[in-house]
Amino acid sequence: MSFSVFVSASWKDRDTVDKLVRILQQYEIQPILSWDMIRVGDPIVNRIRQQIRASDCVLAIIGKHGGRSESMDFEVGMAIGLNKIVVPLIEEGADIPKALIEKQYILIDKNRPELSYERAAAYLNSLKIEKERRNAIGGLVLLGIGLLFLAALGSED
């Protein structure tokens, strides 16, 4: 069972994204990066909507450049509209998009940013574990219903 995270970030914050992607992969979390998925000629809005819809949540990396990105505002707004969990990871001094002003966020410690990345990945891993637990319970419920159905069929004989 996979757990995927749509990563919303400015291209200017690529170094941060690359470091986070490596950490997420250690947790067996699949990052979805729009700039890796969209090809020339693709309808951008539809493609991003598909990517966000297919993801389990959205990680919004707000660097000093990313908070001013119109595409990031669009992606975060779309995620909220699709009822996705949005996890903001914000660099100190960055402009926070309006859609995230009132949300709890993880602050990127400028002296030890790797600890902040690890904290974000650990939180996303907790969401992954929660999803796996829900799916396991759902599977057990279906198994129980199936056994009851078989028992009912057997008692008709």
Structural domain containing residue 28: 4-155
Structure-token pair, residue 13 = 């914050």
Instruction: Summarize the confidence of residues 3-14 as an average pLDDT.
Output: 90
Per-residue pLDDT reduced to its tens digit, 84-133 = 999 999 988 888 877 787 888 899 988 899 999 999 999 999 999 999 88
In the block, which residue shows the tokens 């951008």?
A: 44
The CATH number of whichever domain residue 100 belongs to comes to 3.40.50.10140
Number of structural domains in the chain = 1
Which pTM value belongs to this model? 0.80
Task: For the beta carbon of residue 41, count every other beta carbon within 10 angstroms.
Answer: 5
The answer on pLDDT for 156 being more than 70 is no
Question: Which of 104, 101, 77, 108 minimizes the C-alpha distance to 13?
Answer: 108
